[in-house]
Amino acid sequence: TLSSDLATLLSGRYVEIFVQGLSYEEFLIFHNLEDSDDTLRRYINFGGLPGLRPIGLDDPEVVRQYLQGVYNTILVKDIVRRKKVRNVSFLENLIKYVGDNIGKPLSATNIQHYMTSNKNEVSKNLILNYLKAMSEAFLVHDVTRFNLHGKKLLENNDKYYFGDVGLRNFIVGGRRANDIEKIVENLVYQHLIRLGYKVTVGQMYATEIDFVGTKGDDTIYVQAAYLISEESTFEREFGNLQKINDNYPKYVISMKLRSEERFSRNAET
């Protein structure tokens, strides 16, 4: 199963220990690989579940079968049986919908409208219950929005990220051109959690900041982008951060900038 939550019995009490999949650096060590574009591509495609080590990464079909087994175990044991889910077909459709909408604000209302348009009548309460069950199984993480101007949490339109991108890719299926943008954002979120940050989505008037990370008295702001290949993208990603009127660190994370020499001056604002 996906080892995201372990309970250790201490003096009659349970202590919850949050455990993530492998980071990219751990992925290199586990699979005895050198850092390269091909290795990073494998990590992006297959994810960081430690159980991949004994079966290897050379045969995509074998990897797919392993991920299918993990997903089926989470679905049946951690969600369906534990939560006594009756509408399993809708649950699977909901999981796929969330996987296809990484980084987008989701609410029970817009999910209900989408499902209704596909002739799947469900209540908002059922949607909320199933989203909660998915989060409690650590299949996905529910990330709330934080109003940077009013300094308070907002109660709707949360974002959802997967605990492992390999599972997400298996669930959604295929390799679509715009998926890489979603996966990069998901990986940045996972990295921030791994560093010990509590992560929210920043909202300031019409401006959105992908991630606001807090750890004790420290705060960082992070924008995630697959490629910054156009001036408009550059202005949006860096411009949103520059609107925040404080001195906390602000970062834009991208796989590649169009011109390192041109943009390096603002790589960290």
CA–CA separation, 269 and 261 (whole Å):
16
Does the structure show a pLDDT above 50 at 267? no
Does the structure show a pLDDT above 60 at 251? yes
User: What pLDDT digit, counting tens, does each position of 202-248 carry?
Assistant: 887 678 888 999 999 999 999 998 877 777 777 878 888 888 888 89
Q: Of residues 85 and 227, which shows the higher confidence score?
A: 85
Q: Of residues 2 and 177, which shows the higher confidence score?
A: 177
CA–CA separation, 158 and 145 (whole Å):
6
Q: Look at residue 57 in the predicted model and tell me its pLDDT.
A: 94
Does the structure show a pLDDT above 80 at 81? yes
Contact indicator for 47, 169 with CB cutoff of 8 Å? yes
Prediction pTM value: 0.84
User: What pLDDT digit, counting tens, does each position of 110-125 carry?
Assistant: 999 998 888 888 999 9
**Portion of the chain with pLDDT greater than 70, in percent:** 84
Q: Look at residue 268 in the predicted model and tell me its pLDDT.
A: 43
Q: Look at residue 177 in the predicted model and tell me its pLDDT.
A: 66
Q: Look at residue 188 in the predicted model and tell me its pLDDT.
A: 95
User: What pLDDT digit, counting tens, does each position of 125-168 carry?
Assistant: 999 999 999 999 999 999 988 777 656 555 568 999 999 999 99
Does the structure show a pLDDT above 60 at 45? yes
Q: Look at residue 245 in the predicted model and tell me its pLDDT.
A: 85
Residue 10 — very low, low, confident or very high, per pLDDT cuts 50/70/90? low
Does the structure show a pLDDT above 80 at 43? yes
